Structure 1
Amino acid sequence: MASAYAYLFKFIIIGSSATGKSCLLLRFTDDRFQVTHDLTIGVEFGTRTLTARNGQRVKLQIWDTAGQESFRSITRSYYRGSAAALLVYDITRRETFLDVTSWLNDVRAYATRNTTVVLVGNKSDLEDQRQVAREEGEAFARNHGLLFIETSAKTGSNVAEAFAIAADAVLERIVRGELEGNMEQYGVRIGTGAGSTNRPAVVQLERGTTSSSTRRSSTNCC
């Protein structure tokens, strides 16, 4: 029963290039960090199973999409059938925060109306280089009905929490009956077992694997 889980959720990671999206995925799935990381062409994929706040085991299938404009038309196809999206910007590069509106518009256009969106301000370890105040991120999230968190893929700060709050929010939508009918259209599948416990979230149960698409040109992105 070690592999049993109550639900499988499809997550996507979106945002401008070099905001640390791939590093967040690598930290979450493999608990490691790469100083340099090749820019993603297309998508990367990883999995991890965790325990949600209600004690249920949830397996996440996570698609990390390329941030370059030239791949937007390709990666938009991954928005469909996503339970949650982590929308990432770099707190040290204001232009990536200004781009958040465009990315959110894509989510609204190509994902379902019940897709949970978490706004993620990455690279919180670079406080001395900060260009986007935490309050700005919080205000944007509040004004657009998003969840918000700041993370550091380098130190691991709040990385697991970012995925966990998204998973908890999806579970809450299920409980409230917002994902009725064919849940797969909302990025949700019934898992291999209930896996309910009384343990608190957020506890890692098992790590998965990360696979990469073809890549090009290295960047210090994380």
Structure 2
Amino acid sequence: FIAGLTGFGIRRRIHEPRCAARNAGVEDTREQDSAAKLRVVVTCAEGSRKELLLPLTSTVRHVKRRIARESEPRTPPARLKLLLGERVLADDELLTALGSSELLLAFERLPRQIRGASASDAKEDVIYKLLLAGAQLSGKSCVLRRFLGEDFLETSPSTLGVDIRSKALLVDESLRVKLNIWDSEGRLREYSGAAEDAARLYSGAAAVIVFFDVASAASFEKLSHYLGLASQHCRQGAIRCIAGNKADEGFLEARQVSQDEASSFAAARGLAYYEVSARSGRGVEAMFHDLVGRLLDQLPV
């Protein structure tokens, strides 16, 4: 036993100098690597700050890629703008050409450019299922018609079951997104198999927009029911939001739910709130485009 310990001690003493030399070499290499890199401090408009250590051969494009991978919300490099002072930097500019061994840069997120995709655009890169839910007569179908570019109907038949429509969008002139929009029935019916039907309806939805009529307090009171169904049946990470329809400027006296009340209800649950008008089209396209942007933010960069 003693001999074994002695032998172990001898072997350890023999190897220690080599390990020390090897460790010293690693430390020297690390110091050389650190010395051969450029320190970049990047700040954003929200006040967050990130320090990067980059090779001397790095360009502005490399900085954007790092920010895209590590910042929240995730933002593609094409939607990032880097500034040195007030000057916007080009992607291919070398960091070393900016005149300092330590750079203080700022970045801004550019808004997405979204438009309807034409028939000449290629096959979709991303497909999302969107579910429109909410009380009967809250105007879900009219909002959908407006988004699809169809005429507004003063009297629109109530949806029975579910009506599925599609629209393709082109994002930043490069990414093709297809929305499969499920317009669901607003009547609350109790029947055998209702739970199974609800599960099928909400299952697979990337996002659920729950509508109410701002001129109907009763429809507002039903929001919790539909939000509960979304929480119960949607996949983890699905986006839920609330939309107040019939927010027409000429009908303000008819409102029964104020914008502040609806906004507070949504904020208390961590949800986005939109006000739209199917009649005038106000806010409809912006709501869907914002929702698509939030869905794309969930994708890996």
- The interval holding the TM-score normalised by the smaller chain is 0.7 to 0.9
167, 170, 188: which one aligns with 1:48: 167
| Superposition pairs of residues 101-116 of structure 1, within 5 angstroms | 101-116=224-239
Task: Answer whether contact 2:245 2:276 (CA < 8 A) is retained.
Answer: yes
Identity over aligned residues, as a percent? Answer: 28
Q: d(CA) in 1 for partners of 2:274 and 2:171? A: 17
Letter in 1 for 2:184: T
Aligned counterpart, 1:208: none
Task: Answer whether contact 1:66 1:75 (CA < 8 A) is retained.
Answer: no
User: Which range moves more in the overlay, 91-100 or 47-56?
Assistant: 47-56
SS of equivalent residue, structure 1 residue 95:
helix
Q: d(CA) in 2 for partners of 1:51 and 1:137? A: 31
Cα deviation code 1:47-105 (max 9, x no counterpart): 11223469633111000000101176434421000011111000000111111011101
Aligned counterpart, 2:133: 14
Cα deviation code 1:172-203 (max 9, x no counterpart): 11237xxxxxxxxxxxxxxxxxxxxxxxxxxx
> 1:26: how far off?
1.0
Letter in 2 for 1:40: T
Q: d(CA) in 1 for partners of 2:198 and 2:140? A: 14
Aligned counterpart, 1:37: 156
Q: d(CA) in 2 for partners of 1:95 and 1:87? A: 14
Task: Answer whether contact 2:198 2:229 (CA < 8 A) is retained.
Answer: no
Query: Bigger relative contact order, structure 1 or 2, given CA contacts below 8 A and separation 6+?
Result: 1
Aligned counterpart, 1:153: 278
Residue 76 to residue 129, structure 1, CA distance change in 2 (3 Å)? farther
138, 143, 148: which one aligns with 2:268: 143
Q: d(CA) in 2 for partners of 1:88 and 1:137? A: 11
Cα deviation code 1:113-157 (max 9, x no counterpart): 211112100001132201111111111111112111100011111
SS of equivalent residue, structure 1 residue 30:
coil
> 1:31: how far off?
3.1
| Superposition pairs of residues 161-176 of structure 1, within 5 angstroms | 161-175=286-300
Aligned counterpart, 2:220: 97
Q: d(CA) in 1 for partners of 2:297 and 2:253? A: 37
Letter in 1 for 2:274: I
Aligned counterpart, 1:129: 254
Task: Answer whether contact 1:21 1:64 (CA < 8 A) is retained.
Answer: yes
> 1:3: how far off?
4.0
Per residue, is there more helix in 1 or in 2? 2
**Number of aligned residues:** 176
Q: d(CA) in 1 for partners of 2:122 and 2:214? A: 37
Q: Which runs of 5+ in 1 are unaligned?
A: 177-222
Q: d(CA) in 2 for partners of 1:136 and 1:54? A: 38
SS of equivalent residue, structure 1 residue 174:
coil
Q: Over alpha carbons, which structure has the higher Rg?
A: 2
Letter in 1 for 2:143: L
Q: Which runs of 5+ in 2 are unaligned?
A: 1-119
